[in-house]
């Protein structure tokens, strides 16, 4: 399996490798958040992180399917608040994941979800700059 793919003249990572890197990052953020905020962000820790990985997969799927629709519907509100409302879309995604997983993920309060959403966004930025871009540059 090739790690670097040239698609239409653009060099990028293999989609599976890219997906796997992000899933591991999301899983680590969720596990750390459940350890730090153990009273308000409760993630089932049975099966050695399986629920954290499943939560990551659901977040990824919702980000690819529902998030663009929510983003389009709230675009005027995001524009009026100069982008300050955007993290609350991620909070809504996390709340939907909480509803889907039932007792395996319990969240209490919006502020903890806000901090987890910011941590996920920061992790996305760091993974892009420190892992994915160097891998692409190395493969060119």
Angle between helices 110-127 and 86-101 (to 10 degrees): 110
CA–CA distance, 57 with 23 (Å, rounded to integer):
7
Query: Would you state the pLDDT for residue 1?
Result: 65
Instruction: Give the least confident one: 14-18, 25-29, 59-63.
Output: 14-18
Domain map of the chain by residue range? 4-139
pLDDT digits (tens, 9 = 90+) for 77-88: 999 999 888 889
CB-based contacts of 136, cutoff 8 Å, min separation 6: 4, 11, 12, 13
Query: Would you state the pLDDT for residue 124?
Result: 87
């Amino acid at each position: 399996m090739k790690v670097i793919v040239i698609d239409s003249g653009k060099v990028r990572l293999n989609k599976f490798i890219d997906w796997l890197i992000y899933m591991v990052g999301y899983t680590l953020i969720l596990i750390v958040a459940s350890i730090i905020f153990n009273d308000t962000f409760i993630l089932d820790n049975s099966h050695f992180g399986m629920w954290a990985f499943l939560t990551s997969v659901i977040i990824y799927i919702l980000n690819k399917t529902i998030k663009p629709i929510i983003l389009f519907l709230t675009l005027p509100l995001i524009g009026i608040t100069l982008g300050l409302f955007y993290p609350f879309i991620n909070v809504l995604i996390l709340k939907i994941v909480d509803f889907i997983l039932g007792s395996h993920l319990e969240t209490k309060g919006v502020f903890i979800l806000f901090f987890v959403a910011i941590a996920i966004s920061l992790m996305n930025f760091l993974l892009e700059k420190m892992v994915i871009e160097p891998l692409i540059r190395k493969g060119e």
